Structure 1
Amino acid sequence: MNIPKELKYAKSHEWLFFEDETTARIGLTDYAQKELGDLVFVNLPEEGDEVTAGESFADVESVKAVSDVYSPVSGTVAAIHEELLDSPESINEQPYDAWLVRVENITDQEDLMDAAEYEAYLEEL
């Protein structure tokens, strides 16, 4: 299982790459994409939308089912990864390059885990 050490993680299996103290890109972990199966559709929020920690902000559709994607932090959507709308399979191929959204003005990040904590969490599942 690929768990890059420079990222932060949520129990709902999203990763965050902090560009600075209040801006981060959010994507789905390697574990999440394997559990979901082959992704065929991604529904992302609009730029300027507010996201709230613990609440759904997007959904992904696989050949198995539609699954919500939960925001690990609160903030404002500064950008969406528009390429994913045409090629959602890139999440399966490169989960740590295929970010979903870029969020700024981040708050509510207390529940994030580092790579070692996330790896230990996965072992409990």
Structure 2
Amino acid sequence: MSSHETTGKERLWTWFSLSYASFLILPHSGIHQMPDEWQNRMAQLLDEWDEAAKNQPDLEFIVQGRKDGKLCQIPEWITNYRHPDRAAWNHFFGRAEHCTYPSCNCPFDLGPDNQCLRGLPNPEQVVR
């Protein structure tokens, strides 16, 4: 193995950095903003986890937000998975500020009145 290649174990370990974190937390709303193929791979990995973890403890976990070392409310755009703020998520992921349909290769078609279903402003009326 070359010095630039790492094992899966090493790559995964780096996700926890040098912290003492025991969990990796991904927001429900955010993972549904990823491409469908990515979501499918993630679901497959989670299915493998469930199949391998035969004796999971009967526990519930609570996620709390902290900013500058103090507890804070988690913004609604992160927690609202039923009605995601697509513009906020697009900003989070560094995506285009304006709809570029059809050149965006978006997994969605345009919605009613040619509105971008990712919530991006349409700089000009798009003709289908």
TM-score normalized with structure 1 length:
0.20
Instruction: State the structure with more CA Rg.
Output: 2
TM-score normalized with structure 2 length:
0.19
**Larger relative contact order (CA 8 Å, sep ≥ 6):** 1
More helix by share: 2
More strand by share: 1
